[in-house]
Structure 1
Amino acid sequence: MGADTTMEYLENHNMLLVAPGSSYSVPEADSNITTVRGQCKSAIVDGSWKMIFAKDDAEFNSLKKDMQKTAKGLGYDDVLKVDMKNAADQTAARKASAEKYPAESDAK
């Protein structure tokens, strides 16, 4: 691929981006979301290992469907909603920080 390391490849193809710093910190999740996140994690890890050792595509797809159904039943969508909001808030904070302190190349 024309590079000896992953970093060299990314540098050669202008694929690195430094996110601006900000004072944003992820708020502490309520205990229900924390519990559901842990339950979903267990279901996904367990299901993933089973899928790795599936005999064929049919078994793999069946295990994947079961894992997804279990995770959704546990409340995966609620955890995703919280995490997406936190990601959006972090992005907004980074954008605000970048606008407040423009890069030297932008200021010239």
Structure 2
Amino acid sequence: MSLSLPAGRIDAQRYVQITSTNPPKLFGLYPRKGTLEKGSDGDVLIVNPSTEIVFTHSMFHENVDDTPYEGMYLRGYPYMTISRGKIVAKEGHFLGEKGAGSFIKRNLPILEI
């Protein structure tokens, strides 16, 4: 599948690298996270590129009183998250089991990204 983007925009492969592969490398979690390969624990996020929203504090599942993202406009928003083959979030609603996650011990970061 080919994704056609306007001039000056990054392509889908670069987007995945920036948002999904590089952070686990920097935090010492790669290749356990950040890749869809045998033995990895890569969750899948499906984004609807047409969804347009304005962030509000109530949209976040945080234990803080405010967010620096309040009022920011965004086009493209998560539609569904799949973890271990199960849908854990869909259309902004958490559907997973509380406490189903597990601790992942970090390694040294990979600095060549």
Question: TM-score normalised by the shorter chain: which range applies?
Answer: under 0.3
Please, what TM-score do these two structures have when normalized by structure 2? 0.21
User: Relative CO higher for 1 or 2, CA cutoff 8 Å, sep ≥ 6?
Assistant: 1
Q: Choose between structure 1 and 2: higher helix proportion.
A: 1
